[in-house]
Amino acid sequence: MPIRKKGDVEIKTSPKGAQVKQTGYTFYSYDKNSAALYFNFREENGEPTDLANATIRLVFVLNDEKITPKTDDIEIWLAVPGTARYIIPESMLGREGKVTGYVYLEFSDGSHTDEGRFTFEIKQSMITDMLPEAGEQYVKDFEDIKAEVQEAADGAKETINQKVTEISDTSDSAISKVNQVADDTIKTASEAKSDVQSKADEASYSIDEAVKSTESARDEAIETMTELDYSNRNLLTGTSSEWEEFSFSGFTSGFMTYSLDQLGLKVGDTLTYAAEIDNTKDESNLLPLSILANFYGEEGKLISRIKGNQIKSNEKGMSIGTREIPEGTIKIQAYKVRKTETNDRKKAAARKHKLQKGNYATYWTPNPSEIVTQDQYNKLVNAITNLGGSV
């Protein structure tokens, strides 16, 4: 969503007490999905606060009513240099008056701080009072647009399913062609051996030609798998559609590390990371779970991260997150499962991990190189070896 009204709030840690900061910002009831507060956290010495292992909590007081947003609604925009964003919800904009906001930080090592207070105002838009019909029409138009977007999304999903089927059929056809060539070759070799004296030269020639044909079909199969839709391909290796179980006490378990060069990526590319998580394995530890991918710069410095939506205890579901590769990134580390606290040991399961280019998560597929290596390529090796050849 486009954020057109951005209110910057500077938060500097100080032992002098929580001072009220007048921001001078005024938001209006009509600012739907377009107004946000951007927090810039600083240490006492002016250095940026590292939010990599921090949780931000906000409390708003409006007309003597306390409003406490969910921590998931407060987005850590850049862990370094300590920037976070909170989009002001429509439910708050519907109230008029002076708002006092309270900011708190909680860190993974157990420490937490009161970061101070700030104020802003919310006023009623003229259109809300004077033109109620226009307001209703606005909502109606928005709902119509949302319905059209949903219809387009459904069409896109259907197209993706068709493409997946076509790719699968193409792959099976290539494998079938390889196997047919191999079977015909073995048959030719067997017939030739039945008359060694009279057909020795002919048999040798047939085998050589068959090996060439088999190698050509192998190359065709590999090329077919390599040319699958690049935007849909899984950049991760070693993933599976089978459930993998985890038991861990830290924040994360299971990780895969790649350089941007290894993945053929560059700064500015948009990545989506997704996995299916089973959070029904642990009856005592009820923490939510999600996926996580970190972007690292020089000397292992954490720059930013992809955080998926949380899967609550006793639930199964897809955890998905999207983000552009930030400036300075040289390495990506994708974790298979993450919990929000480093407390007692947690049991969980996950599968179908997929990191891909683009803004949307598509159906899980293994990395194309693994498809050839683990299945088709083994069949090719066996067929050619039976002919006395080598790969």
If asked whether residues 209 and 250 sit together in one domain, one would say no
Of 304, 306, 275, 277, which Cα lies nearest the Cα of 293? 306
pLDDT tens digits, one per residue of 80-90: 778 899 999 98
What is 120-137 written as a DSSP string? EEEE--HHHHH-HHHHHH
Tokens of 236: 């991760």
If asked whether residues 279 and 313 sit together in one domain, one would say yes
Q: For position 52, which CATH number holds?
A: 2.60.40.3350
Strands, sheet with 83-87, edge to edge from the N-terminal-most edge strand: 5-12, 35-42, 83-87, 74-78
Residues 8-26 have a mean pLDDT of: 76
pLDDT band at 12 (very low <50, low <70, confident <90, very high): confident
Give the pLDDT of residue 169.
55
Which range, of 106-115, 175-184, 330-339, averages the lowest pLDDT? Answer: 175-184
Residue 10 lies in a domain: yes
- Reported in sequence order, the residue ranges of 108-224 that DSSP labels E, i.e. its strands, are 112-123
Domain count, the chain: 3
If asked whether residues 102 and 164 sit together in one domain, one would say no
Residue 200 lies in a domain: yes
pLDDT tens digits, one per residue of 231-259: 578 999 999 999 999 998 888 999 899 99
Distance between CA 28 and CA 30 in Å, rounded?
5
Give the pLDDT of residue 60.
93
Distance between CA 211 and CA 77 in Å, rounded?
57
Whether residue 4 contacts residue 34, with contact meaning beta carbons closer than 8 Å, is answered with yes
Helical (H) or strand (E) element with 39: strand 35-42
Which range, of 132-141, 157-166, 211-220, 258-267, averages the lowest pLDDT? Answer: 132-141
If asked whether residues 215 and 275 sit together in one domain, one would say no
If asked whether residues 272 and 195 sit together in one domain, one would say no
If asked whether residues 169 and 50 sit together in one domain, one would say no
Residue 18 lies in a domain: yes
If asked whether residues 353 and 297 sit together in one domain, one would say yes
Average pLDDT along the chain: 77
If asked whether residues 253 and 282 sit together in one domain, one would say yes
Residue 245 lies in a domain: yes
Whether 375 shows a pLDDT value over 70: the answer reads: no
Tokens of 71: 């921590």
Give the pLDDT of residue 144.
57
pLDDT band at 229 (very low <50, low <70, confident <90, very high): very low
Give the pLDDT of residue 208.
54
pLDDT band at 140 (very low <50, low <70, confident <90, very high): very low
pLDDT tens digits, one per residue of 89-114: 988 888 889 999 999 999 888 899 88
If asked whether residues 90 and 204 sit together in one domain, one would say no
Whether 139 shows a pLDDT value over 50: the answer reads: no
For the CA atoms of the chain, what is the radius of gyration? 29
If asked whether residues 172 and 290 sit together in one domain, one would say no
Question: Is the peptide bond preceding residue 81 cis, with omega within 30 degrees of 0?
Answer: yes
If asked whether residues 10 and 108 sit together in one domain, one would say yes
Of 297, 309, 259, which Cα lies nearest the Cα of 52? 297
pLDDT tens digits, one per residue of 163-175: 545 545 554 554 4
Tokens of 252: 């994360």
Of 174, 221, 159, which Cα lies nearest the Cα of 363? 159
Q: For position 315, which CATH number holds?
A: 2.60.120.260
What is the chain's length? Answer: 391
Give the pLDDT of residue 269.
93
Q: Hey, which of 14-18, 117-121, 358-362 has the most confident mean pLDDT?
A: 117-121
Domain extent for 184: 154-229+372-386
Give the pLDDT of residue 182.
47
pLDDT band at 59 (very low <50, low <70, confident <90, very high): very high
Residue 149 lies in a domain: no
pLDDT band at 203 (very low <50, low <70, confident <90, very high): very low
Residue 135 lies in a domain: no
Residue 93 lies in a domain: yes
The CA dihedral of 248, 252, 253, 257, to the nearest 10 degrees, is -160
Which range, of 98-112, 119-133, 263-277, averages the lowest pLDDT? Answer: 119-133
Residues 182-204 have a mean pLDDT of: 49
If asked whether residues 342 and 327 sit together in one domain, one would say yes
